[in-house]
Amino acid sequence: MNGFHLKVNNLSKHFLLHILKGKQVRAFEGVSFEIKPGEFMGIAGVSGSGKSSILKCIYGTYVASDGEIFYQPEQGQVRELTKDSARQLAGLRGHEIGFVSQFLRPLPRTTTQDLVANPLLQTGVAKAEARLQAQELLGRLGIGPELWDGYPVFFSGGEQQRVNIAQALIRRPRLLLLDEPTSALDTENQAVVVALLEEAKAAGVTMLGVFHDPALLQRLSDKVITLSRGKQVA
């Protein structure tokens, strides 16, 4: 390994809002950092400072306005994600890069266990096997068997968030992007999620996380960058 797993160079994001007569909104500007394989980097900052936007640029949900994102896949050459086609980015999702968003987006007519098993099914894993893995992961996150056949739309916020985490973890991505994965959880469930994240870290998963709770951020992170009004201040 020649060093980094993910390297972000002078990354910027502006939104150009045509429907508001070309108004420009700045998300963040000139952000640079480097994450080594297996490292956990945290992003700190108040709401609206551009933390989540950085994650979304890396995941391809946002189109970066300027700068470079270098990614070292498991096999092959370093890729520059801002120049990759949509098809190439889609290929990285799941197995290489996983994303835990703040909110769960349930699929219609899909039970909890199938929702979590869904990413595995798409890679060709047999249904029974995928369900088994989903059940195990859900069990560990405190979602009991009585909820496995329930529909997540009816779940509480905390339960939905845990289903969301399970959905991202089941593919065992090499890089995990975490967008406030514990914001709706009580301390007990937060501890469960943190334990799971620490376990993933011990298994060598590289992580980039946004957390509101500074104590949690310090506990999990090997290093932290801080954003203020879209600029990197530390």
Applying CB under 8 A, which residues contact other proteins?
15-19, 56, 60-63, 76, 86-91, 107-110, 121-122, 124
Residue 93 Cβ, how far from other proteins at the closest point, in Å? 9
Residue 41 Cβ, how far from other proteins at the closest point, in Å? 23
Residue 65 Cβ, how far from other proteins at the closest point, in Å? 10
Residue 121 Cβ, how far from other proteins at the closest point, in Å? 6
Closest to other proteins by CB, 42 vs 181, is: 181
Question: Look-up: residue for tokens 């190439």?
Answer: 88
Closest to other proteins by CB, 127 vs 229, is: 127
Closest to other proteins by CB, 17 vs 195, is: 17
Closest to other proteins by CB, 92 vs 197, is: 92
Q: Using H for helix, E for strand and C for coil, what is the string for 117-144?
A: HHHHHCCCCCHHHHHHHHHHHHHHCCCC
Residue 200 Cβ, how far from other proteins at the closest point, in Å? 23
CA 203 to chain centre: 17
Closest to other proteins by CB, 83 vs 87, is: 87
Q: In the sheet where 40-44 sits, what is the strand order?
A: 79-80, 66-71, 6-17, 23-35, 231-232, 223-228, 40-44, 206-210, 175-179, 97-100
Q: What Å distances lie between residue 127 and 30, 106, 109, 130, CA to CA?
A: 45, 19, 16, 5
